[in-house]
């Protein structure tokens, strides 16, 4: 537990600092993350062909991060897809092809979306800080809520330790964090309820991202993506919730680009 808390605080501090300064600082942080995650995915999905799997995934993910740092998200998606398909052509079955292509996209696209969110407009920093607050609150309360309350398991075949009480505690914490963000960013009072719902939805999405990562690890027969982070496992194990939430927020803002202007008041 001590190692888990210490490494969590270090990672949270580094992530918040990089997000605050943005630009090359956040791009470098995302680049470092995709290097680690590309290795972890190759290690899980293709342990007997680790190097080519790692190289293709890394090339696609780093290119996507680079394009996203220039706000060229469409180029990031195209480059990532090309590299993913090229890597998938190495595989000899449809299932393995889908695993390779899907895995490379799973690694690179959330990081590209995350960078795009930070620099997409004047509310970029507030968007990222709200994401951090909601996901961190959700993860912490889901973990300790499940430990302290216990009760029925969600899916023992996927993750033997996850409980419904943890899910409920996490979603409630995400909703509370969303409400807190509405005060922090001085949103209009009539938007408090919207922030409450946003926090709950983002928190639930993050928890489902964590459960999906558990499914992938069971699929490949590993306990953790790697042992890079003491007490947590791998980078994929640590930021799976944030990756899922970034995709959700990115999709929402693609269809409602002025949403953040409505949700945030005078900001920081």
pLDDT at 268 (0 to 100): 52
**In-domain check, residue 75:** yes
Per residue in 139-180, pLDDT (tens digit) is 999 999 988 888 888 877 777 778 999 999 999 999 999 999
> Is the pLDDT assigned to residue 19 strictly greater than 80?
yes
If asked whether residues 134 and 251 sit together in one domain, one would say yes
If asked whether residues 146 and 88 sit together in one domain, one would say no
- Among 92, 119, 146, give the residue marking a domain's end: 119
Per residue in 45-74, pLDDT (tens digit) is 998 988 999 999 999 999 999 999 999 999
**In-domain check, residue 11:** no
Tell me how many domains the chain contains: 2
pLDDT band at 266 (very low <50, low <70, confident <90, very high): low
> Is the pLDDT assigned to residue 255 strictly greater than 70?
yes
Mean pLDDT value across the chain:
90
Interatomic CA distance for residues 151 and 129, integer angstroms: 32
- Among 95, 119, 143, give the residue marking a domain's end: 119
- Among 119, 154, 172, give the residue marking a domain's end: 119
Q: What are phi and psi of 122, to 5 degrees?
A: -65, -20
**In-domain check, residue 47:** yes
**In-domain check, residue 99:** yes
**In-domain check, residue 16:** no
pLDDT at 158 (0 to 100): 74
Give yes or no for a contact between 105 and 141, defined as CB atoms under 8 angstroms apart: no
Which helix (H) or strand (E) element contains residue 159? strand 159-163
Interatomic CA distance for residues 125 and 184, integer angstroms: 13
If asked whether residues 155 and 264 sit together in one domain, one would say yes
Structure tokens at 20: 């605050």
pLDDT at 254 (0 to 100): 84
Report field, pTM of the whole predicted structure over 0.85: yes
Per residue in 186-195, pLDDT (tens digit) is 888 889 999 9
Domain of residue 66, residue span: 21-119
If asked whether residues 63 and 105 sit together in one domain, one would say yes
If asked whether residues 155 and 110 sit together in one domain, one would say no
> Is the pLDDT assigned to residue 209 strictly greater than 60?
yes
Number of Cβ atoms within 10 Å of the Cβ of 91: 18
If asked whether residues 64 and 179 sit together in one domain, one would say no
Give every CB contact of residue 104 below 8 A, 6+ residues apart in sequence.
38, 41, 56, 57, 60, 61, 80, 83, 84, 87
If asked whether residues 104 and 53 sit together in one domain, one would say yes
Task: Please state the rounded mean pLDDT for residues 186-207.
Answer: 94
Task: Please state the rounded mean pLDDT for residues 213-217.
Answer: 90
Task: Please state the rounded mean pLDDT for residues 123-133.
Answer: 94
DSSP helix/strand/coil, 208: helix
């Amino acid at each position: 537990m001590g190692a888990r808390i210490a490494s969590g605080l270090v990672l949270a501090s580094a992530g918040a600092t990089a997000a605050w300064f943005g630009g090359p600082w956040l791009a470098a942080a995302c680049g470092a993350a995709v290097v680690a995650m590309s290795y972890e995915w190759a290690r899980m999905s293709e342990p007997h062909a680790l190097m080519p799997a790692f190289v293709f995934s890394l090339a696609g993910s780093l290119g996507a991060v680079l394009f996203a740092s220039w706000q060229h998200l469409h180029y990031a998606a195209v480059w990532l897809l090309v590299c993913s398909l090229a890597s998938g052509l190495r595989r000899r079955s449809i299932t393995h092809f889908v695993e390779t292509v899907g895995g490379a996209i799973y690694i690179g696209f959330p990081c590209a979306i995350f960078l795009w969110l930070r620099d997409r407009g004047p509310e970029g920093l507030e968007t990222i800080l709200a994401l951090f607050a909601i996901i961190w609150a959700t993860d912490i309360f889901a973990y300790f809520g499940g430990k302290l309350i216990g009760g029925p398991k969600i899916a023992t075949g996927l993750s033997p330790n996850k409980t419904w009480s943890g899910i409920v505690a996490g979603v409630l914490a995400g909703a509370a964090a969303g409400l807190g963000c509405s005060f922090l960013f001085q949103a209009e009072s009539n938007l408090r309820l919207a922030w409450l719902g946003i926090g709950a939805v983002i928190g639930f999405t993050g928890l489902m991202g964590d459960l999906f990562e558990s499914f992938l690890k069971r699929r490949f027969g590993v306990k953790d993506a790697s042992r890079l982070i003491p007490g947590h496992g791998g980078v994929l194990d640590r930021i799976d919730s944030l990756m899922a939430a970034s995709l959700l927020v990115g999709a929402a803002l693609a269809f409602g680009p002025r949403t953040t202007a409505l949700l945030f008041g005078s900001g920081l």
